[in-house]
């Protein structure tokens, strides 16, 4: 079964197969051995697909449709590994997780690479994740390893859903890669309120906006219709829409980082965050490429607040006040921003 697994992986690796025993690629490092996260890499993304998936090639094709578009726009950051998993073959899954552990190992560490691999596979969260894969549970998303060796990973524990929904498959690839770009330009180990890290609405809202915009550019959805659906029904996020969330009362704030624990994260961070992104572009008049990409380059140098004010033309506090007044208008009123900018 191991031979079959490796043959299967070889046919779906995004860019080049490394046969069993060959080392995985190193990340770009500074002279003192620290990985330079904000520099683009020539290491191309690598995809692992479990046995039982991608029989007709569509799973990989539709994922790559989104990934290639995102890399063309944001640049190539990594190393980036994509894991499209499923419950059909346990040995396939365990071999893939061994490769995943290998990709995270730091050859410069005092701990032997073999011990690092064994330690990763014994982590309680990884044991639980493998159990979820084998049980067919649909979980996952973007994750990344700790320094000094940073790798980014898009993990889907049950990719059968992606396989059956080409639109969402492409959409997810676009959304998660925007996060790779974001994380490369901020300190993701700081609290979200830190000036060196992104607020949740920036991370999720801007990625929600960009992925929808790119989906329209790929002729797969209608962007304006999607933005309206975020207000009316919640769109593909599958939660209560903005209108019902706001009418339910309570004083919400974009910069409140407690919604992950208390509820409201889908509405505040994803939906309202996407509309906040649209406000910057269509009302504040900031070029889309600056909002989605260029301003991030200044965050490591001068911090989030100063970078935002420099590129968006107003402070974060002033932006929050203006956006709060805007988003409480009717659907017809807020949708006018797209008409006047046609």
Measured CA to CA, the distance from residue 199 to residue 337 in angstroms comes to: 25
Residue ranges per structural domain of the chain: 2-184, 200-339
pLDDT in tens, 39-95: 899 999 999 999 999 999 999 999 999 999 999 999 999 999 999 999 999 999 999
Inter-residue contact 134 to 87 (CB < 8 Å): yes
| Closest C-alpha among 244, 241, 246, 247 to residue 227 | 241
Positive or negative: CA dihedral 34, 188, 237, 328: negative
The DSSP secondary structure of 173-222, one letter per residue, reads: HHHHHHHHHHHHTS-TTS-TTSTTS--HIIIIIHHHHHHHHHHHHTTSS-
In this prediction, what percent of the chain has a pLDDT beyond 70?
A: 88
- Residue 2: pLDDT band (50, 70, 90) is very low
Measured CA to CA, the distance from residue 49 to residue 133 in angstroms comes to: 13
Three-state DSSP state, 81:
strand
> Is pLDDT above 80 for 270?
yes
Long-range CB contacts (within 8 A, 24+) of 5-8? 5/51, 5/89, 5/91, 5/92, 5/95, 5/96, 6/95, 8/49, 8/51, 8/92
Which token pair is 327?
Answer: 């988003």
Query: Tell me, what DSSP letter sits at residue 253?
Result: -
Three-state DSSP state, 338:
helix
The contacts of residue 296 (CB under 8 Å, 6+ apart) are 181, 182, 185, 186, 307
pTM of the model: 0.89
Three-state DSSP state, 47:
strand
pLDDT in tens, 236-246: 997 899 999 99
In this prediction, residue 37 carries a pLDDT of 63
- How many CB atoms within 10 Å of residue 3? 8
| Distances from the Cα of 104 to the Cα of 114, 238, 337, angstroms | 11, 33, 45
| Closest C-alpha among 25, 49, 21 to residue 35 | 25
| Distances from the Cα of 210 to the Cα of 105, 130, 134, angstroms | 32, 31, 33
- Residue 333: pLDDT band (50, 70, 90) is very high
Inter-residue contact 211 to 237 (CB < 8 Å): no
In this prediction, residue 5 carries a pLDDT of 34
Beta strands per DSSP E along the chain: 46-49, 80-84, 140-144, 152-156
pLDDT in tens, 95-137: 999 999 999 999 989 999 999 999 999 999 999 999 999 999 9
The contacts of residue 342 (CB under 8 Å, 6+ apart) are none
Residues forming beta bridges with residue 48, ordered by sequence position = 83
pLDDT in tens, 143-188: 998 877 889 999 999 999 999 999 999 999 999 999 999 999 999 8
Pairing status of strand 80-84 against strand 46-49: parallel
Burial class (CB in 10 A: 0-12, 13-18, 19+), 311: middle
| Distances from the Cα of 279 to the Cα of 5, 256, 274, angstroms | 48, 19, 9
Inter-residue contact 6 to 20 (CB < 8 Å): yes
């Amino acid at each position: 079964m191991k031979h079959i697994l490796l043959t299967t992986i070889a046919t779906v690796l995004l860019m080049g197969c490394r046969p069993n025993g060959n080392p995985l690629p190193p990340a770009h490092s500074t002279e003192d051995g620290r990985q330079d996260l904000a520099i683009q890499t020539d290491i191309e993304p690598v995809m692992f697909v479990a046995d039982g998936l991608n029989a007709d090639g569509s799973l990989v094709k539709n994922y790559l449709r989104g990934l290639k578009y995102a890399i063309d726009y944001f640049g190539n950051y990594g190393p980036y590994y994509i894991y499209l998993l499923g419950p059909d073959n346990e040995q396939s899954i365990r071999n893939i997780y061994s490769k995943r552990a290998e990709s995270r190992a730091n050859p410069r560490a005092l701990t032997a690479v073999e011990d690092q691999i064994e330690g990763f596979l014994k982590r309680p969260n990884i044991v639980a994740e493998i159990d979820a894969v084998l049980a067919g549970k649909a979980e996952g998303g973007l994750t990344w390893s700790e320094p000094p060796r940073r790798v980014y990973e898009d993990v889907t524990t049950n990719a059968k859903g992606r396989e059956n929904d080409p639109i969402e498959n492409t959409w997810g690839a676009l959304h998660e890669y925007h996060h790779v770009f974001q994380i490369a330009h901020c300190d993701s180990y700081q609290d979200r309120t830190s000036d060196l890290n992104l607020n949740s609405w920036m991370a999720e809202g801007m990625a929600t906006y960009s992925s929808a915009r790119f989906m329209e550019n790929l002729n797969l959805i209608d962007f304006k219709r999607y933005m309206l659906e975020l207000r009316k029904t919640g769109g593909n996020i599958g939660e209560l829409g903005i209108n019902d969330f706001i009418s339910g009362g309570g004083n919400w704030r974009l910069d409140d980082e407690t919604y992950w624990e208390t509820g409201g994260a889908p509405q505040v961070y994803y939906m309202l965050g996407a509309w906040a992104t649209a406000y910057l572009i269509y009302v504040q008049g900031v070029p889309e490429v600056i909002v989605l990409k260029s301003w991030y380059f200044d965050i490591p140098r001068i911090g989030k607040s100063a970078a935002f004010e420099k590129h968006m033309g107003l402070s974060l506090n002033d932006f929050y006040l203006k956006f709060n007044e805007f988003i409480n208008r009717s659907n017809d009123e807020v949708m006018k921003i797209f008409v006047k900018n046609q």
